Structure 1
């Protein structure tokens, strides 16, 4: 039977239903991950391992789960990708808050984060109308841009290696990362190229089927690891390759959900196999710690510690943004992540926009307003990328959801190159992408495109 001929409710047919089922399967995998995390006392002094709180945590997740249906009806966009990852962040916090050992107003925090999530998702998911292009790069110049990015990246890697070049494993990474001292200009260049420009180049090469150049882009991303000594630099090439494979098999919305679901599901399977005695501790739990713990628990835990800290300390009023310090007196003379590291001994604790632009900057009551503004900024990215192939947008922003889960939006816009990526989307000639088929009439489906970016 034709999917488009069957409508469960107006605007919600079988394609949307299948997407909803996939999203709910992911929620179950996340809930299982969170259960293992809280059951083994992963964060002593911050979270309780008392399973008497389990029912309340499950109830929070179930109550918030219908919001995921927005992703079944929404069209793919930059905001769709970021919004889904943020939805899981909020879901994780709603679980963890029931195990909280920290002293702050938990009911107010719960209400605030739910309203913040809704305020963010509304514009991020549904404001997608295109912006008229006043400036467009000539197609010939745009075709050459990915290669220019590769050359510039190689130059930056060469310069960076003069300041720091250490091949160390993950167990020693944090020890040596504290010694990394790059000039300010080089530090910005390293983050912008590794987070935004090289993924942009990789996306150009993939959609134009230039496989060798795409491989070179991934190799250059890997070469940033000895300079930066971050997990992001080490795993980013693998992550982008994974996204490229998934997005080749399914359309962009399903690829978004699967990009989170598949790694988390493997971690849950590892945890179950370990509990059943079928695999040893180290391989299964190392994977679970790197993937499930890092993707779900840590970003959600940031809300826990930020809520606690700023319930008894002055708000930043956005003074974590350097330019704001010129007009607003700042109660902190260190970066907020450093303040959190000293207060909780959980490492360098950067956090997402919900914790930093929200809780830390304006407090729980006004956090939903801040989330709305941030959602509008993400919606601007939707509008500037409108008309580009969904797979291209997905791959060019492949690293950014992981970045935005762990750093403020204000930092990501400048330091991680999100603002520059917005500009590149805006000036990209849509004629560089040959649209050879029309959009399906099913709600939420996107046109299939055959790209000719970079072809001679």
Structure 2
């Protein structure tokens, strides 16, 4: 049995500061290649950007000392996103109060991270499934996934290059129930089943889950359905060799570093230019920079437009009305006109768009407290199980509003499943707990 290598506090701290540094370098390169997205670099503001990100990076020490949890995974990705925004904020040409929004972003991150990282005490498990019941549940998930995919195929099944998906995705129209089903199945249920199979050594069934997840791509034409399964496999291999906390840090540090290296080699003619540029555009720009850039766009838009007051939540929209008749991501896309959908994380939607930068830290605190509840309900489960089952959800929290991720992406359902899981299930000599 391979025991994952566990890093010391200072080793994790070095990785964290290295990740913060490479992210800023990556954004510097992004500005040079994508100026049309209002990303700039002014040498006179370089010191200010370095100072702002260096001050904020002091929060990374929290990840060096905290235990692994669901909040650790979500929190680290959101920390890097806010770090990126503070760098971009120092150069942004968009006219709004950059001092206020920068302070608000930093305060929002701290408000979210403190409960999400350090409230982990277990809640008493009032009810637990038997191992036999979990096996039946996993079979039911596979059947539900196959049925959902079959229903989706009846509406669309088209293999499209990743760069051309927006030409076709806008024309897709699924029933609301099917939209919810595909989101929950692809983001929560199948990763949950994959984690169970992988940790129990059922590799053929784990492979079946990966195939089912990949089949969602030609139906939905989203990057998450294409790269989510690959992401889970990478996390599985990495977490087999190194502890979950280091795996989380390296899951951003390594891909972003490779993108910067590819770009440097490509610009010097040492590789065919198309391949490194495509990788950099997908990983460094789309995966890492866009969530940070969305905060810049939302701050600019809502500095001059009416706040949503949470009306992007459909139930509240029906009760209180809404100044925007379309989904917020569509509104932002039409305003900026870059193509795609500018959905964004909780800091942009539940924060900037809903209450403005002044009160955004309060909504971030509320979201952090909810994630802390997830920590407590999952306490006692193996770190690798939490990491693998929520690996795709972590990406969703970067790009989708918090409430949407809880409901239509299945995060709330996942937390409930964690609470019901038998804690001895992954022990080698585990037996049925409820005969």
In the superposition, the TM-score normalised over structure 2's length comes to 0.95
Match of 1:301 in 2: 293
Whether the 8 Å CA contact 2:7–2:243 is kept in 1: the answer is no
Residue 117 (str. 1) matches residue 142 (str. 2): no
Q: How far 1:46 sits from its partner (Å)?
A: 2.1
Match of 2:323 in 1: 331
Counterpart selection for 1:377 from 353, 370, 374: 370
Match of 1:155 in 2: 147
Q: How does 1:229-240 map to 2 (within 5 A)?
A: 229-240=221-232
**Please, which moves more after superposition, 343-352 or 323-332?**
323-332
**Please, which moves more after superposition, 42-51 or 247-256?**
42-51
Matches of 1:144 and 1:21, distance apart in 2 = 44
Whether the 8 Å CA contact 1:240–1:399 is kept in 2: the answer is yes
Counterpart selection for 2:21 from 23, 28, 31: 28
Residue 87 (str. 1) matches residue 79 (str. 2): yes
Change in CA separation of 1:289 and 1:328 when aligned onto 2, cut-off 3 Å? same
Change in CA separation of 1:14 and 1:401 when aligned onto 2, cut-off 3 Å? closer
SS of 1:69's partner is helix
Whether the 8 Å CA contact 2:381–2:423 is kept in 1: the answer is yes
Match of 2:404 in 1: 411
Match of 1:217 in 2: 209
Residue 278 (str. 1) matches residue 270 (str. 2): yes
Whether the 8 Å CA contact 2:298–2:348 is kept in 1: the answer is yes
Q: How far 1:80 sits from its partner (Å)?
A: 0.2
SS of 1:196's partner is helix
Match of 2:352 in 1: 359
Whether the 8 Å CA contact 1:207–1:451 is kept in 2: the answer is no
Matches of 1:44 and 1:158, distance apart in 2 = 40
Match of 1:442 in 2: none
Matches of 2:421 and 2:190, distance apart in 1 = 16
Residue 265 (str. 1) matches residue 237 (str. 2): no
SS of 2:188's partner is helix
Match of 2:303 in 1: 311
SS of 1:399's partner is helix
Matches of 1:408 and 1:394, distance apart in 2 = 21
SS of 2:322's partner is coil
Matches of 2:20 and 2:49, distance apart in 1 = 13
Whether the 8 Å CA contact 1:432–1:452 is kept in 2: the answer is yes
Q: CA RMSD in A?
A: 1.6
- Cα deviations by residue, 1:363-397 (Å, 9 ceiling, x for unpaired): 11100001000101111110111000000000000
Q: How far 1:452 sits from its partner (Å)?
A: 5.4
SS of 1:365's partner is coil
Change in CA separation of 1:277 and 1:451 when aligned onto 2, cut-off 3 Å? farther
Q: How far 1:453 sits from its partner (Å)?
A: 9.4
Match of 2:3 in 1: none
Whether the 8 Å CA contact 1:270–1:285 is kept in 2: the answer is yes
Whether the 8 Å CA contact 1:45–1:101 is kept in 2: the answer is no
Match of 2:126 in 1: 134
Whether the 8 Å CA contact 2:7–2:246 is kept in 1: the answer is no
In the superposition, the TM-score normalised over structure 1's length comes to 0.91
Residue 388 (str. 1) matches residue 381 (str. 2): yes
Gaps of 5+ in 2: 1-5
Matches of 1:400 and 1:417, distance apart in 2 = 8
Match of 2:90 in 1: 98
Matches of 1:83 and 1:280, distance apart in 2 = 36
- Cα deviations by residue, 1:391-440 (Å, 9 ceiling, x for unpaired): 00000001011111001000000010001001101111112132xxxxxx
Q: How far 1:329 sits from its partner (Å)?
A: 2.8
Q: How far 1:14 sits from its partner (Å)?
A: 7.6
Q: How far 1:349 sits from its partner (Å)?
A: 0.3
Change in CA separation of 1:380 and 1:428 when aligned onto 2, cut-off 3 Å? same
Whether the 8 Å CA contact 2:72–2:116 is kept in 1: the answer is yes
Matches of 2:243 and 2:164, distance apart in 1 = 39
Gaps of 5+ in 1: 1-12, 435-449
SS of 1:348's partner is coil
List structure 1 runs of 4+ shifted beyond 4 angstroms.
450-454
SS of 1:201's partner is helix
Whether the 8 Å CA contact 2:267–2:273 is kept in 1: the answer is no
Matches of 1:368 and 1:317, distance apart in 2 = 15
Aligned residues: 426
Q: How far 1:78 sits from its partner (Å)?
A: 0.2
Whether the 8 Å CA contact 1:205–1:453 is kept in 2: the answer is no
